[in-house]
Homo-oligomer: A and B are copies of this chain.
Amino acid sequence: MTIGALGQATGVGAETIRYYERIELLPQPARTSGGYRVYRPEHVRRLNFIRRSRELGLSIDAVRELLSLASDRLRPCARVDRLVRDHIHDLDHKIEGLQKLRSALQRLADSCRGGGRVSECRILEALQEAEEALAGPDVECAEEDCAGRRASDKQPKPRRERRA
């Protein structure tokens, strides 16, 4: 089957399939004399595995690991279990963060009736003014994994203070 047929069979776009091949998530298929990719049933199975894993929110690297684990049928499946449970934990953190965020925003929105002028808008005030205004139980940095976004954490060396 061609790349289009594989796409139909799995619900994955052709460009995504080529992308998976480029990052070596899918093995290189055979080619016709004209250079067309020719896929076989095992490609369908592998790509379906990938799609389902991705739909569950697993990262490409996690999928890669799962595929490698799955290839050795005698290996204990504890690692598989671990991978999935870790991902559940990640999701829990993410969900919790978003819920905090949501209530902070809700508090913000509740403080504004929307009928006034910008000059007396509580939302804009809260964003402009002091830190505590909308700091519920510790919001900050809920979107994604937030890898080291806090530049203020690192405190390198005591330097003279410039005209601050």
A102 and B112 contacting across the interface, CB-CB below 8 Å: no
| Given known A98-B95, A109-B84, A114-B81, contact A127–B52 (CB-CB < 8 A) | yes
> Considering residues A80, A120, A139, A163, which has the most beta carbons from chain B within 10 angstroms of its beta carbon?
A80
| Number of copies of this protein chain within its complex | 2
A37 to B: closest C-beta gap in Å: 12
A4 to B113, CA, bound (A): 39
| Residues of chain A from 98 to 136 with CB closer than 8 A to chain B in the complex | 98-99, 101-102, 104-106, 108-109, 112-121, 123-124, 126-128, 134
Interface residues on A, range: 35 or more
Q: Which residues of A contact B (CB under 8 A)?
A: 1-2, 5, 7-9, 11-14, 16, 45, 48-49, 52-53, 55-57, 66, 69-70, 72-78, 80-82, 84-85, 87-88, 91-92, 94-95, 98-99, 101-102, 104-106, 108-109, 112-121, 123-124, 126-128, 134, 139-143, 149-152, 161-164
